[in-house]
Structure 1
Amino acid sequence: MVSICKRQCFFAFILILGTWAYEVASRELQEPSMSARHEQWMATYGKVYADAADKERRFEIFKDNVEYIESFNTAGKKPYKLSVNKFADLTNEELKVARKGYRRPLQTRPMKVTSFKYENVTAVPATMDWRKKGAVTPIKDQGQCGSCWAFSTVAATERINQLTTGKLVSLSEQELVDCDTQGEDQGCEGGLMEDGFDFIIKNHGITTDANYPYQAADGTCNSKKEASRIAKITGYESVPANSEAALLKAVANQPTSVSIDAGGSDFQFYSSGVFTGPCGTELDHGVTAVGYGETSDGTKYWLVKNSWGTSWGEEGYIRMQRDTEAEEGLFGIAMDSSHPTA
């Protein structure tokens, strides 16, 4: 009997040891697989690290992000998908520092009161996509510079210039970054779209991107390039706050600069579908609403142009849920929006 028990214990031990060895081997197989994915991802996006320690740290962040993305997509509980994009080796906090730049006004700052020419509009199209009307330039990339405010300002201005001249011309974000530095706007350190419009008005126009190309860095204002003014605006209007209905009237008539809370990993890795959150209302990113629509299942959305390149989102765009219960809208999209006037 004792001999039988010893044999059973021995076989149980062998079984446990084999199971443990299999799990260890599986983990070791997965680790090189993840490492290989990181190497492939680095090659795809041209990533180069300072040293081995930096690479190891970035790999750990990459691994955590990939696991989150795959877990999210597998769960399938949301109407949108995430992807392992060019931000996969960044923490969400690092992305906030590098890729945003909306400077929310201090509460003590007096807000400029403007008219809203679309206030009495009673009917708008069921859908709108300003890209299809030739009013939106291709997706741009702000790079490692908090200049989202400049891209949003320019995107809204490009439509006004097209309306005035009949030509869609890519305008210069770099001019705003370098030259609009006397007030709230501070180049790569952030700014406000309304202040960007103010600069264009006072400067009697803005030049083209071809003449004053984007550098993704703060620079000294080039007065010679700045002097070649191509597009002009006469003013700007703020859309009544906390009203998606008012924002709908504005976007139905022209692309509109909007401020959103772009925090959270889901926004960082958004790939496709109608984004429904999670989200907040701590506005930190300037983008441009260039349309709206409704999916086949009846989900209403805003069509928003971002400035993170075409590899992010739906070729640079995001569809965000519209007509939510919150008066400020998803991400606070209805809290602070504005557009230039011809």
Structure 2
Amino acid sequence: MDWRKKGAVTPVKDQGQCGINTEAGYPYQAADGTCNTKEESVRAAKIGGYEKVPANNDGTKYWLVKNSWGASWGENGYIMMERDVSAKEGLCGIAMDSSYPTTYDHLKLGFLAHLSYFLETGSCWAFSTIAATEGINQITTGKLISLSEQELMDCDKTSEDQGCEGGYMEDGFEFIIKNKGINTEAGYPYQAADGTCNTKEESIRAAKIGGYEKVPANSEQALLQAVANQPVSVSIDASGLDFQFYSSGVFTGACGTDLDHGVTAVGYGTTDDGTKYWLVKNSWGASWGENGYIMMERDVSAKEGLCGIAMDSSYPTA
């Protein structure tokens, strides 16, 4: 089953980063300038935190370094550089004083915010809500329409949904129901930042849903039955480096069940070697994974599913 082939899935979108301003809002000039306090106050991305630096599959220790040359460079803008090399200055000059603790966690000391681009402090909930809504709308009307995540972020403030600060897909469905529909992406375009609700655009309704259903928790079989009928919003643990650096194939990497990311299950299948998988649409742009998608191992031994995919899922109804 692949809902893309049935025309029920729009092209992969990119949620960007919701905290400091965007490049478009405060463009880079490659020169010193005077601080634009108006644009400085806009927050469209959050500065991320850190990840513990484990050994890779062959045991080589490495530093995980974020560059500023864009996501097309390296591994989505990052590079893994060998750690504990023989030269005292380290590879390319990375070095540490000898007097440091064996373990250190800036996050636990309160010095760093959690990673927002990959974790719950972002707009992934809106993208998952919209992707599932786009799916049921196409199935019932025959029209595939790209709908507005920004409307959810700006106008859905009645419950736990707080734009770039995170939210829940079920609350997103509730908003669409109460609002009697939602506008198109073109009519209310994504800004990668929280904004004031545009009530004029909010009143334009290109698609609607009648309700939503929760999938029974901790049952991949129940999730399978749901995805067989339509795209389904699912929550997963996307905090691990294996997941974040996924590029192709069936993902079987280590991950937990601390749900922190909303995505959309748009299909399932079995590879030629017999490995069962979920086909999942992400919101990190088409350059991530397999054109923005990931195949996640299905029918694993844990009842929660890989990365907790079977723990918390829901879908809109016509």
* TM > 0.5: yes
Contact 2:160 2:167 in 1 (8 A): yes
- What is the identity, as a one-letter code, of the residue corresponding to 2:304? E
* In structure 2, C-alpha distance between the alignment counterparts of 1:72 and 1:339, rounded to whole Å: 42
* Paired residues for 1:192-231 under 5 Å: 192-231=168-207
Q: Helix, strand or coil: the match of 2:78?
A: coil
1:206 Cα offset (Å): 0.4
Report the equivalent of 2:45.
Answer: none
* Paired residues for 1:46-61 under 5 Å: none
* Paired residues for 1:124-273 under 5 Å: 146-273=122-249
Contact 2:119 2:238 in 1 (8 A): no
Q: Helix, strand or coil: the match of 2:115?
A: helix
Aligned residues: 235
* In structure 1, C-alpha distance between the alignment counterparts of 2:190 and 2:28, rounded to whole Å: 21
Q: Helix, strand or coil: the match of 2:235?
A: strand
Contact 2:161 2:172 in 1 (8 A): yes
* In structure 1, C-alpha distance between the alignment counterparts of 2:59 and 2:293, rounded to whole Å: 20
1:272 Cα offset (Å): 0.6
Contact 2:119 2:239 in 1 (8 A): no
Determine whether 1:86 maps to 2:76: yes
Contact 1:101 1:147 in 2 (8 A): no
Contact 1:84 1:269 in 2 (8 A): no
* In structure 2, C-alpha distance between the alignment counterparts of 1:259 and 1:295, rounded to whole Å: 24
- What is the identity, as a one-letter code, of the residue corresponding to 2:158? Q
Q: Residues 238 and 151 (structure 1 numbering): CA distance in 2 closer, same or farther, change over 3 Å?
A: same
Q: Which runs of 4+ in 1 moved over 2 A?
A: 46-51, 67-73, 83-87, 93-98
* In structure 2, C-alpha distance between the alignment counterparts of 1:89 and 1:95, rounded to whole Å: 21
Q: Helix, strand or coil: the match of 1:99?
A: coil
Q: Residues 237 and 47 (structure 1 numbering): CA distance in 2 closer, same or farther, change over 3 Å?
A: farther
Contact 1:100 1:190 in 2 (8 A): no
Q: Helix, strand or coil: the match of 1:338?
A: strand
* In structure 1, C-alpha distance between the alignment counterparts of 2:253 and 2:223, rounded to whole Å: 20
Q: Residues 334 and 95 (structure 1 numbering): CA distance in 2 closer, same or farther, change over 3 Å?
A: farther
Q: Deviations over 1:37-87 (max 9, x none)?
A: xxxxxxxxx999999xxxxxxxxx9xx98x9779689xxxxxxxxx93324
Over the matched positions of the two proteins, sequence identity in percent amounts to 69
Determine whether 1:284 maps to 2:260: yes
* In structure 2, C-alpha distance between the alignment counterparts of 1:70 and 1:95, rounded to whole Å: 28
Contact 1:305 1:318 in 2 (8 A): yes
Q: Residues 250 and 233 (structure 1 numbering): CA distance in 2 closer, same or farther, change over 3 Å?
A: same
Q: Give TM-score, length-normalised by structure 2.
A: 0.67
* In structure 2, C-alpha distance between the alignment counterparts of 1:48 and 1:326, rounded to whole Å: 51
* In structure 1, C-alpha distance between the alignment counterparts of 2:113 and 2:254, rounded to whole Å: 17
Structure 2, unaligned runs of 5 or more? 1-26, 33-49, 61-72, 81-106
* In structure 2, C-alpha distance between the alignment counterparts of 1:294 and 1:87, rounded to whole Å: 31
1:245 Cα offset (Å): 0.3
* In structure 2, C-alpha distance between the alignment counterparts of 1:333 and 1:316, rounded to whole Å: 17
* In structure 1, C-alpha distance between the alignment counterparts of 2:277 and 2:28, rounded to whole Å: 34
Determine whether 1:97 maps to 2:115: yes
Q: Helix, strand or coil: the match of 1:98?
A: coil
Q: Deviations over 1:272-307 (max 9, x none)?
A: 111112010000000000000111111100000000
- What is the identity, as a one-letter code, of the residue corresponding to 1:259? S
* In structure 1, C-alpha distance between the alignment counterparts of 2:147 and 2:207, rounded to whole Å: 8
Determine whether 1:309 maps to 2:285: yes
Report the equivalent of 1:320.
Answer: 296
Contact 2:220 2:310 in 1 (8 A): yes
* In structure 2, C-alpha distance between the alignment counterparts of 1:70 and 1:239, rounded to whole Å: 35
1:256 Cα offset (Å): 0.2
Q: Helix, strand or coil: the match of 1:270?
A: coil
Q: Residues 49 and 332 (structure 1 numbering): CA distance in 2 closer, same or farther, change over 3 Å?
A: farther
* In structure 2, C-alpha distance between the alignment counterparts of 1:320 and 1:49, rounded to whole Å: 41
Higher helix share: 1
Contact 2:218 2:304 in 1 (8 A): yes
Contact 1:254 1:290 in 2 (8 A): yes
- What is the identity, as a one-letter code, of the residue corresponding to 1:158? E
Contact 2:118 2:239 in 1 (8 A): no
RMSD between superposed Cα atoms in Å = 3.2
| Structure of greater Rg | 1
- What is the identity, as a one-letter code, of the residue corresponding to 1:223? T
Q: Give TM-score, length-normalised by structure 1.
A: 0.63
